[in-house]
Structure 1
Amino acid sequence: MSLKIIDPHVHFLNLAEGQYSWLQGANPPAWPNLDKIKQPVSAEQLVKSTDFELAGLVHIEAGFDNTSPINELNWLSSHLKNLPFKAISYNQIDSPADQFTHCLKALAHSNLCGIRDITEGSDAKRLLDANSFKNLITLSNTQLHFEAQFDIENSEITKQVAYYAKQLPQLQIIINHAGLPSNLNTWQQGVELLAQHDNIAIKFSGFELLKLTCEQQAACFNFIFNHFGQQRIMFASNFPVCQINTSYNNLWHNYKAICSSNKIWHNLSYTNAKHYYQV
């Protein structure tokens, strides 16, 4: 049995140098343990915090500097110099195509593998914009992922993402945080639709932000597993936000506990992330 993991959804924070207006502005999130979440943690400290072998990670943009997101990538190069990593940066998905391409060129970096622009709640309508499709074409042509963070139970948006996946079969779309399940019946319908497209994968993560019981979370996992299979699901931590309700180490042990075989565990905790992100 392998205890080696690759974590495909981690945020490192540098509050001394970065902006992080969402976290240290006038309206920070009302999360439990916010002070703990904001504490600076090095890659070495994260490695030592778990009895699994953290063999690599994917850093997801955290708002270091959304006006010049290359600054976050450059900081990561020094912060993560001793740990294999890839990075997802920020670019506004519905910006005019010329602007999107210009910003993408400014993000040239050896560790860049994709773009995330959070489109939760009312922001989801931006995925309906014609510019979004043009910019997804650009991502497809440049072999960069689109990290999609939206509510799967928003059926209009889910149908649109499925349409993009069908029209752009070379574009890799990765759903963040299990599609943020809340209304499980509607969420299940969305999962069924998205799972039909082989170029869509999904991360099982982010449940510290969701109001679901342990039983409901287990039901979500089983439903995702039955539709996406063990090749298109990745366990991920969302560190440091996971510390809202558990430690980094406990989270990974919880993931391991829901796997019915060592093969499933190895695929969801290591192999799939290595495949999708080439860490």
Structure 2
Amino acid sequence: MHSKIIDPHVHFFNLNEGCYNWLKGDNPPSWPNLETIKKPIAPDDLIKNCPFELAALVHIEAGFDNQQPIRELKWLNKHLANQQFRAVSFAKIDSDPVEFKKAINNLKHPSLVGIRDITEGEDSSRLLHPYTLENLAYLAEQALHFEAQFELENTLISERVAHYAQQLPHLKLVVNHAGLPQQLVLWQKGISKLAHNKNVYIKYSGFELLSLNRQQQQVCFDFIVQQFGQTRVMFASNFPVCQIQQSYSELWHSHFSLCKSNDLWQQLSYSNALSFYLF
């Protein structure tokens, strides 16, 4: 068994220094174990709680300061000083292209590899905005990728994102949290649309946010691997949010149990993230 892993979707919080309006405001998520999720944790603690060798990780923007997202990158430099990591920051994907370019240029940082802008639910309409294609093209020019987070069962949006991938073959795009499957028939259509594009990858994560049982999750996993193949799928934790359902250790054991071969496990837990995030 290959024991070395890379976790490509982790969030670290510092509620004393950062804004985190979505977490600290008047309307925080109604998640169980919310206080555990808010609890500050050092990377060494995460390594100790990992049942495999956590060789590297990718920090995904967590709302430290969406007005000045460079602050989060600078904080990560201190917090993850002894850990090999890459960072995905925030920029509004449908903003005016002039403003978007300024925002990206203000994020110049050695750890930066990509941008995430959450477009779930009604916010998914922002992916239809005329500016979005131009901004994605600029990311590709800057050798940055885009982390897409929306419901793949939304056929209109899935088709548009697939179109962007076709129009911009040099853009790397990764779908977060397995495309948030709920209506599995529609979700499968979205998966098939996006998987056709070789520059689109997907993370298997985020199922603590969904209502699918273990058998349904296995169906999702098998379909994702069938459509994307072994080289464009990545296991990820979504720590600390995964603690809604299970510990960090339990989650990685769960991921391991999905694999029918050591080769598949090594690809999804290590090799694919290694090449995608440029470690």
Partners of 1:163 and 1:133 lie apart in 2 by 10
Matched with 1:31 is: 31
Distance, in Å, in 2 between the alignment partners of 1:50 and 1:228 is 27
Which deviations, in whole Å up to 9, do the C-alpha atoms of 1:195-238 show, x marking residues without a partner?
10000000000000001011000000000011001100000000
The code of the aligned residue for 1:206 comes to G
2: CA distance, partners of 1:216 / 1:23? 29
The gaps in structure 1 that reach 5 residues or longer are none
The answer for unaligned runs of 5 or more in structure 2 is none
Q: Per-residue deviation at 1:16? A: 0.6
Q: Aligned partner of 2:21: which letter?
A: S
What are the residue-to-residue correspondences of 1:104-253 with 2, within 5 Å?
Answer: 104-253=104-253
Following superposition of structure 1 onto structure 2, how do residues 88-103 of structure 1 map, counting pairs within 5 Å?
88-103=88-103
> For residue 63 of structure 2, what is the aligned residue in structure 1?
63
Equivalent residue number for residue 77 of structure 1 = 77
Distance 1:177 1:258 in 2: 16
Matched, 1:268 2:257: no
State the secondary structure of the residue aligned to 2:266.
helix
- Shift, 1:2, TM fit: 1.4
Identity over aligned residues, as a percent?
55
1:146-205 C-alpha deviation (Å, 9 max, x unpaired): 000000000000000000000000000000000000000000011011110000000000
* CA drift at 1:50: 1.6
Runs of 4+ in 1 over 3 A off after TM superposition: none
Q: Partners in 1 of 2:214 and 2:258 — Cα distance?
A: 11
Supply the distance in 2 between the matched residues of 1:263 and 1:256 (Cα, whole angstroms): 11
Give the Cα separation in 2 of the matches to 1:192 and 1:156. Answer: 14
Give 1:51 deviation, angstroms: 2.4
2:267 counterpart SS class: helix
CA distance in 1, matches of 2:201, 2:49: 28
TM-score of the superposed pair, with normalisation by structure 2: 0.99
Q: CA deviation at 1:109?
A: 0.1
User: Aligned to 1:117, what secondary structure does the other structure show?
Assistant: strand
Once the two structures are TM-superposed, the CA of residue 40 in structure 1 deviates from its matched residue by 0.3
